Amino acid sequence: MILCGLVIAMLVLLLLRVPVAFSMLLPCLVYVAWSPDITLGVALQQTVGSVDSFALLAVPLFMMTGYLSNAGGLADRLFQLLLTLFKKIPGTLGFVNVFSSLTFSWMSGAAIADAAGLGSVLVPAMKKRGYDEKFALGLTGASSLIGPIMPPSIPAIVYAVSANVSVKDLFFAGVMPALVLTLILCIFVYREARKNPLREETTREQIPVFKATLRAAPVLLTPVIILGGILFGVFTPTEAAVAAVMWVLLLSVCYRSLSFNAFRGVLIKTTSTTGSIMLIVTAAGLFGWVIAREQGPQAVTEAMLQLTDNPWVFLLLVNVALLITGMLLEPVAALLITVPVLLPAAMEYGIDPLHLGIVMILNLVLGLLTPPVGLVLYVLSSVTGSSVQTVTRGTIPFLSPLLITLLLITFIPAFSLWLPGFLDVWLPRLLNL
């Protein structure tokens, strides 16, 4: 009854548009006040302890990398390279859209940064070259979801801290799922290009492939620095985030593309976003502790085991529950609430925590494209000038390839587990030969 009361109170506060952090915090404070054996000091310890993690330092640093890449014009160099490479393929800008998100995801780790940075460039360019506005908006929104899956993923860091798994392993677990999503979106673009062929005209001066590659090569070194440093033990993920910020900042200064005002804006955006995320993390720390104290994970595990003993049915039920949760909560908040509850149950079914993490992240980031939370919808509306209704209608057809990707990742664990296993077991053997 206490658990139900906490959850209902949180949902009521969310429906009343109370910020997520306070929707979690207020019911917990009432619970603490009514519990004679809990002191305020214990509650404060649980709250502060949730953010006392070295790995969480990577969150603001990777966000800053994404914001610097936008402000410093690095994303434009990637865009120009991809435009040059795909210029002779039908549906040029559709493929450029998807691969821009893929390459930019190695630096940002967040769908919102991707949608804001690339949406302001790609959507107007696609409309100018004859693409339907809703298609351009929907594709940009769908491809932006590659960012939270491909490392360095901010939701992956949050999940790893909550589930006590390796950030490095979870980073590499997201590589193949992100590539699967990229492939399915490319198939969707190809089908659209065949069905509605466009005579695409060049909208900007074309440059040779070699020159475009040379201009973008230093930018393409960013993922090499991040993942290569982590893979070969040069950096921890947090140290890799520091190296990424320094590298992107150095490139922006060398290109003379980052003004002081733009840099100031990057710092303000990073601080603001970090503050909101960490406030949610602190509130979720207390919320999760209260749920654990009331044996919520055990209750969920027992209920699931009574309902089914099949791990695939369990994963299907998890997908349905998380898709609904993602429509109501921002992914980071949803992860912090659901991981302590679902992970113990998943372990009983023999589901690998890395596989569960990728499934949970993909489920919850889908909520970024669905009302009422749908942060990517509002970002695209803001940077393109299109109405939220138009953006929403544009994203609806792209829910199909996204759900196909989700099912593939859910029921083929190898997509998530093969690469971390290879890197942990076989790569050291190959290096020792």
Residues sharing a CB contact under 8 Å with residue 117, sequence separation 6 or more, in sequence order: 66, 69, 70, 75, 104, 108
Cβ contact 55:168 at 8 Å:
no
Provide the whole-model pTM.
0.84
Domain span holding position 48: 2-432
Domain count, the chain: 1
Residue 379: HSE in the Cβ half-sphere, 13 Å Cα cutoff: 23
pLDDT in tens, 109-127: 778 878 877 887 888 888 8
The token pair at 50 is: 């949730």
Q: For position 198, what pLDDT does the model report? A: 64
What percent of the chain has a predicted confidence (pLDDT) above 90? 24
pLDDT in tens, 153-170: 889 998 998 898 988 899
Question: Does 199 have pLDDT greater than 60?
Answer: no
The token pair at 264 is: 């100031």
Q: pLDDT averaged over the chain?
A: 84
Please write down the HEC assignment for all residues of 155-203: HHHHHHHHHCCCHHHHHHHCHHHHHHHHHHHHHHHHHHHHHCCCCCCCC
- 275: burial class by Cβ within 10 Å (0-12, 13-18, 19+)? exposed
The token pair at 184 is: 């399915």
Confidence bin at 64 (pLDDT 50/70/90): confident
Q: For position 429, what pLDDT does the model report? A: 65
Cβ contact 117:75 at 8 Å:
yes
pLDDT in tens, 288-336: 788 878 777 777 778 888 888 899 999 999 999 898 888 877 888 888 8
pLDDT in tens, 371-421: 777 888 888 888 888 888 899 999 999 999 999 999 999 999 999 999 998
Picking from 249, 262, 203, 211, the residue whose alpha carbon sits closest to that of residue 77 is 211
Confidence bin at 356 (pLDDT 50/70/90): very high
Average confidence (pLDDT) over 135-150? 91
Q: For position 430, what pLDDT does the model report? A: 62
Picking from 230, 271, 102, the residue whose alpha carbon sits closest to that of residue 177 is 102
